[in-house]
């Protein structure tokens, strides 16, 4: 896993009046390292519908589709992975009920990171690196130095690290050396941006992170 970890956040998109599927299509043009559907305020049926719509698009583009929180919906929709937080089902239980799913785990401190690495998840996320406005009751900021320490721990375990929290295109040069992938929500879709702008920004992230985008229609 290397490059942009693109997140389709339905709460943000609802505020902008943007269709999540069309937004995802714009992101997929950049062939990100992964595409996650984050739909915390939607009922399970709507989340499953979206995941099933996104699946063929992602498979055609060779982009792993990640469901946020819900291992059950990820399995039903045929996703490649599920991303779990500290308050979700533990890794061991997720792996037991859906062994076909790759699992990523959010962590916010070095002790959490060490615990998450023990069962060897597909990847770990760490942060917030910077202040973020897309998460309610966000954990304390870890900063660039905290990310660098987490990166050393994750690499010692041979597990990819995804930086999370306040990631912007302008900040990439200061953090690019400290993670394998970088989760982005807000900076992919600035106020007033079009879906073409979203595709261009996703590609710009890929280039800034040392990945040559394989562009093309999904």
| 94 SS3 class | helix
> Which of 25, 27, 71, 28 lies closest to 47, judged by CA?
71
Residue 214 lies in a domain: no
- Residue 54: which region, alpha, beta or left (left: phi > 0; alpha: psi -120 to 50)? alpha
Residue 57 lies in a domain: yes
Q: Per-residue pLDDT for the chain (218 aa), expressed as one digit of tens each?
A: 999 999 999 999 999 999 999 999 999 999 999 999 999 999 999 999 999 999 999 999 999 999 999 999 999 999 999 999 998 889 999 999 899 999 999 999 999 999 999 999 999 999 999 998 766 667 899 999 999 999 999 999 999 999 999 999 999 999 999 999 999 999 999 999 999 999 999 999 999 999 976 655 44
- State the DSSP string of 35-59: EEEE-TTS-HHHHHHHHHHHHHHHH
Residue 73 lies in a domain: yes
Domain encompassing residue 126: 3-208
Q: Report pTM.
A: 0.94
> Which of 100, 189, 109, 179 lies closest to 141, judged by CA?
109
For residue 19, give the CATH number of its domain: 3.20.20.70
Residues 6+ apart with CB under 8 A from 100: 75
Residue 218 lies in a domain: no
Residue 217 lies in a domain: no
Number of domains composing the chain: 1
| Residue 137 pLDDT | 66
Q: Cα torsion at 65, 66, 67, 70 (round to 10°)? A: 130
């Amino acid at each position: 896993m290397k490059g942009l970890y693109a997140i389709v956040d339905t709460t943000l998109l609802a505020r902008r009046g943007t269709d999540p599927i069309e937004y995802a299509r714009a992101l997929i043009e950049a062939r990100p390292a992964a595409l996650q559907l984050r739909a915390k305020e939607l009922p399970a049926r709507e989340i499953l519908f979206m995941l099933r719509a996104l699946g063929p698009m992602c498979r055609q583009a060779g982009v792993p589709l990640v469901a946020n929180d819900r291992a059950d919906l990820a399995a039903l929709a045929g996703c490649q992975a599920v991303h779990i937080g500290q308050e979700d089902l533990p890794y061991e239980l997720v792996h037991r009920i859906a062994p076909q799913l790759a699992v990523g785990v959010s962590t916010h401190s070095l002790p959490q990171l060490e615990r998450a690495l023990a069962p060897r998840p597909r990847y770990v996320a760490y942060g917030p690196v910077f202040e973020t406005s897309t998460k309610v009751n966000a954990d304390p900021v870890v900063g660039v130095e905290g990310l660098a320490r987490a990166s050393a721990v994750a690499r010692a375990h041979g597990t990819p690290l995804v930086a999370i929290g306040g990631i912007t295109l302008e900040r990439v040069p200061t953090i690019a050396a400290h993670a394998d992938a970088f989760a982005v929500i807000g900076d992919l879709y600035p106020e007033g941006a079009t879906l073409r702008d979203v595709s261009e920004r996703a590609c710009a992230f890929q280039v800034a992170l040392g990945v040559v985008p394989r562009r093309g229609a999904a």
